[in-house]
Every structure is written in C-alpha cells, then in structure tokens.
C-alpha cells in the first residue's frame, strides 16, 4: 500500500515517520545464533510482519543467507513471500482453513495437528511436506502424545505425504531447569521415539524458540537439529542477559510544530498533563496507531540528539506531545528517535517494555505496516 502511494507521488512524497532496519546488525545476529551450536541450524521466524520489522524487507535480506526454512504463521504471509519470489523454503506453522488449499499447487510445507489438515493437504497439495506438531505440555495447538501413534497411522494409511519435520514449542524456554520444562523435553523425546519406531525419520526436528536457541546446551538431548529464532534474530534477548545480540530497529519521526505554554496550561486529551512552569513543547505526527504505546502517556520519553524529552499528556491516535524545554536549538522538522536501537537508551524497545510492564514482542507487532521501512 505504501509503495504504490509513493509511486503515485514520486519523489515529492517524504514520509514523516520511518522505521530503520540495520542490515549489519541483522546479519550479525544471524551469524551469532548459528555459531552457538554447529549441530543446529537457524530457521528465521517471519510471522506477524517479521515481528513488526517488515516481512518482505527482512525476507529479501535473509533469502541470501541459505537458511533451511522461513517460518510464518499463515497462508497469507506465505503468499506475501511467494509474490516476491523468495527462494528459501517456507513452513506455515499456524492453522489454515482446509478449503484454502484448493486453488493451486503451493510450494509450502505445513505444520499439522488435525486430521482435517491432513485430508486437505493430501487431496489438494499432495506434493507438500508436513511437520507434525506435538503438544508437549503447553496445551495450545498440537497432537497429544497419547494420540500421536494413531495420528501417524492415519497419515500412513490415508496418504503418501512426506513427513519432513517433527516440532513442538517450549512454554518457558528461558528456564530449562524447571520441572515443567523438563517434562516438555521428556515428552518431546518420547514423541521422536514414537515417530522413529514407525519408521519415520524427519529431516528436521525442532523444539526451541529464541530463548531455547540461546540455551542450546540445555536442550541438546532433545536431538533437535533446527531452532526457530524470532525475537533473538531481531536483536532482543527475552531474558535480557545476552550482550552479543544487537537490536536492529529504530523508529524515527519529525517535529511538526513547536510552541510555548504557560504554567497551569494543560496538554492532551482529558487534560491529563498540567504544566508546573512555563514550557516549550513539540508536536510529533505519530501516536498509538503507529506503535507509540498509549501507556507511555506522561511516562515515556523520546530522544533528540543526546537528550531525552518526556512524553507529556495522553498519546493520541496519530499525535504525541513532548517537552523540549531542555533542547536549545530545537527546530521544525528536527528528527526524533521514538524507539532507539541502542540497548542502554531509556527509549530502547527493551526498556520501554519494562517501563510499561509488557514484552518487546507487543511493542514490535504494534508498529503499523504503513510506516515506511528502510534497510540500511
């Protein structure tokens, strides 16, 4: 949508907001994650618009890295990658409407956990490869371990589908030593035993997400040879202890208005901010529609140069107001960093998430797809 709009206006169109993605940081993270365990390959997770980073932008860059798989959630996301001629094999991990496979042959692999999926793939996409998703204790999607034998028998008796993978998902991968995680590991190993006893030897065995990827050694005995890395690939350690990862994203806007207000003046909806002294404020053309979390109202900050400026008043749908009283050379059109890619900055995604008691995932996925994304 943004690209077609840009073409319509040509060089005259200058977006007010932009998301910058560091190509070098992305490559660094990918190489680092692959170096943690030579036995395990990294499969980038590109679901949810590549965690808000831009699915086509990230996929185009990663397509030259020789990854074994790209992991997406939906048929829609897989189609988006197909349209830009991505060469890396694509695994659809989420549920799909079985009727959606009828149109044409698709070059995708599918995670499966219901008989309806199996029937549909066998009928309409018999060339497709499947990954059996086992529920090891998280109790979201997946075949229960006590139903796995029957599920395999159904596949073998009704289809000629190639079982390419066995997969599950860790609920607390950042804590490999707790009892529930150990139970998941044991269940996954049992699942692999059952699959092997049925003379099925999947090419890919994968269990870990980002935290599991960073804790490879704790999961080696699951016999995994693939790890699905999402948040860590984008430079965020879910545990917050890894210093090797480099955040790859920053969100930038520009000042569109500057004004002086008097002591006692109010700012924003519900007059939630009252000036305790004369102040200079600036207006930013960005709000919660664009990913500036509403909970940052009267709490968060942005960065101009080396200085932080407080968010004052309530964040609006497309407008945020900041206190620029401490900026001497403030001017119209000046760049403002809303979310920094420097981990120690107060307005880094990790620190913002801690401030408002949420997780970095939520901050990322709320970045609107219409904001221009640039890889540099």
* Residues 26-38: tens digit of each pLDDT: 999 999 999 988 8
- Examine residue 10 and state whether it is found in any structural domain, yes or no: no
pLDDT over 70 at 180, yes or no:
yes
- 143: phi then psi, degrees, rounded to nearest 5: -80, 130
Half-sphere exposure for 323 (CA within 13 Å, toward CB): 24
Handedness of CA 278, 279, 280, 284 (dihedral sign): negative
Residue % of the chain over a pLDDT of 90: 83
- Examine residue 103 and state whether it is found in any structural domain, yes or no: yes
Judgement on whether residues 149 and 93 belong to the same structural domain of the protein: yes
What is the signed CA dihedral for 122, 124, 127, 130, rounded to 10 degrees? Answer: -50
Closest CA to 343 of 250, 253, 259: 250
- Examine residue 68 and state whether it is found in any structural domain, yes or no: yes
Say what the pLDDT of residue 219 is.
67
Judgement on whether residues 204 and 256 belong to the same structural domain of the protein: no
Q: Which domain holds residue 184?
A: 23-229
Residue 211 binned pLDDT confidence (cut-offs 50, 70, 90)? confident
Q: What is the pLDDT of residues 228-277, one digit of tens each?
A: 999 999 999 887 778 899 999 999 999 999 999 999 999 999 999 999 99
- Examine residue 14 and state whether it is found in any structural domain, yes or no: no
Say what the pLDDT of residue 52 is.
97
Residue 6 binned pLDDT confidence (cut-offs 50, 70, 90)? low
Judgement on whether residues 171 and 308 belong to the same structural domain of the protein: no
- Examine residue 1 and state whether it is found in any structural domain, yes or no: no
Q: What is the pLDDT of residues 319-345, one digit of tens each?
A: 999 999 999 999 999 999 999 999 999
Say what the pLDDT of residue 174 is.
79
Say what the pLDDT of residue 178 is.
87
DSSP per-residue string spanning 49-103? HHHTT-HHHHHHHHTTS--S-EEESSHHHHHHHHHTT--S-EEE-S---GGGGSS
Per DSSP (E only), the strands in the chain are 18-21, 41-44, 70-72, 90-92, 108-112, 129-135, 143-144, 162-167, 204-206, 226-229, 249-254, 257-261, 266-267, 273-274, 279-284, 301-304, 307-312, 320-323, 335-339, 372-375
Judgement on whether residues 94 and 48 belong to the same structural domain of the protein: yes
Say what the pLDDT of residue 7 is.
65
**Measured distance CA(62)–CA(42) in Å, rounded:** 11
Mean pLDDT score of the chain:
93
> Taking residues 83-108, what's their average pLDDT?
94
Single pTM value for the model: 0.92
**Measured distance CA(351)–CA(288) in Å, rounded:** 18
Judgement on whether residues 287 and 207 belong to the same structural domain of the protein: no
Say what the pLDDT of residue 13 is.
75
CATH code, domain carrying 348? 2.40.37.10
> Taking residues 220-228, what's their average pLDDT?
82
pLDDT over 70 at 1, yes or no:
no
> Taking residues 25-51, what's their average pLDDT?
95
Handedness of CA 228, 230, 233, 237 (dihedral sign): negative
Judgement on whether residues 329 and 282 belong to the same structural domain of the protein: yes
Judgement on whether residues 362 and 290 belong to the same structural domain of the protein: yes
**Measured distance CA(200)–CA(193) in Å, rounded:** 10
What is the signed CA dihedral for 140, 143, 144, 149, rounded to 10 degrees? Answer: -170
**Measured distance CA(13)–CA(3) in Å, rounded:** 11
Say what the pLDDT of residue 234 is.
98
- Examine residue 15 and state whether it is found in any structural domain, yes or no: no
pLDDT over 60 at 133, yes or no:
yes
Judgement on whether residues 271 and 215 belong to the same structural domain of the protein: no
- Examine residue 237 and state whether it is found in any structural domain, yes or no: no
CATH code, domain carrying 225? 3.20.20.10
Closest CA to 239 of 175, 328, 302: 175
> Taking residues 194-220, what's their average pLDDT?
88
Based on DSSP, count helices (H) and strands (E) in the chain, helices before strands.
Answer: 11, 20
Closest CA to 291 of 57, 74, 48: 48
pLDDT over 90 at 213, yes or no:
no
Q: Which residue has the higher pLDDT, 275 or 208?
A: 275
Judgement on whether residues 182 and 33 belong to the same structural domain of the protein: yes
- 3-class DSSP assignment, residue 308: strand
pLDDT over 90 at 92, yes or no:
yes
Say what the pLDDT of residue 195 is.
97
Judgement on whether residues 128 and 254 belong to the same structural domain of the protein: no
Say what the pLDDT of residue 269 is.
96
Judgement on whether residues 204 and 254 belong to the same structural domain of the protein: no
pLDDT over 90 at 348, yes or no:
yes
Q: Which of 197, 229, 261 is at the close of a domain? A: 229
Q: How many domains does the chain have?
A: 2
Say what the pLDDT of residue 367 is.
98
Closest CA to 358 of 313, 298, 291: 291
Q: Which of 174, 199, 229 is at the close of a domain? A: 229
Judgement on whether residues 346 and 305 belong to the same structural domain of the protein: yes
**Measured distance CA(215)–CA(20) in Å, rounded:** 29
- 301: phi then psi, degrees, rounded to nearest 5: -150, 165
- 3-class DSSP assignment, residue 272: coil
- Examine residue 5 and state whether it is found in any structural domain, yes or no: no
């Amino acid at each position: 949508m943004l690209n077609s709009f840009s073409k319509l206006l040509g060089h005259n169109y200058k977006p007010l907001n932009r998301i910058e993605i560091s190509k070098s940081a992305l490559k660094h993270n990918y190489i680092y994650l692959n170096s943690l365990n030579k036995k395990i390959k990294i499969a980038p997770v590109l679901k949810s618009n590549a965690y808000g980073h831009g699915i086509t932008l990230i996929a185009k860059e990663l397509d030259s890295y020789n990854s074994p798989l790209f992991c997406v959630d939906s048929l829609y996301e897989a189609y988006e990658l197909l349209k830009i001629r991505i060469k890396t094999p694509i695994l659809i991990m989420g549920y799909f409407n079985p009727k959606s496979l009828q149109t044409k042959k698709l070059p995708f692999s599918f995670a499966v956990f219901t008989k309806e999926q199996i029937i549909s793939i066998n009928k309409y996409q018999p060339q497709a490869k499947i990954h059996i998703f086992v529920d090891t204790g998280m109790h979201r999607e997946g075949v229960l371990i006590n139903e796995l034998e029957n599920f395999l028998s159904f596949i073998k008796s009704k289809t000629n589908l190639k079982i390419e993978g066995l997969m599950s998902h860790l609920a607390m991968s950042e804590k490999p030593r707790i009892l529930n995680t150990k139970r998941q590991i044991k269940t996954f190993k049992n699942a692999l035993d059952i699959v092997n006893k049925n003379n099925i030897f999947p090419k890919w065995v994968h269990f870990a997400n980002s935290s599991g990827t960073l804790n490879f050694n704790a999961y080696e005995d699951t016999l995994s040879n693939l790890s699905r890395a999402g948040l860590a690939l984008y430079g965020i350690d879910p545990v917050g202890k890894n210093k090797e990862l480099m955040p790859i994203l920053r969100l930038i806007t520009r000042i569109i208005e500057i004004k002086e207000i008097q002591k006692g003046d109010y700012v924003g909806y519900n007059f939630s901010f009252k000036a305790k002294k004369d102040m200079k404020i600036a207006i930013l053309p960005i709000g919660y529609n664009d990913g500036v979390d509403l909970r940052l109202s009267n709490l968060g900050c942005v960065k101009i140069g080396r200085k932080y400026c407080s968010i004052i008043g309530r964040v609006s749908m497309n407008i945020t107001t900041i206190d620029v009283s401490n900026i001497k050379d403030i001017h119209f059109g000046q760049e403002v960093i809303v979310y920094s890619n420097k981990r120690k900055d107060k307005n880094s995604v990790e620190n913002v998430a801690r401030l408002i008691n949420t997780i970095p995932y939520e901050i990322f996925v709320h970045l609107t797809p219409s904001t221009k994304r640039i890889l540099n």
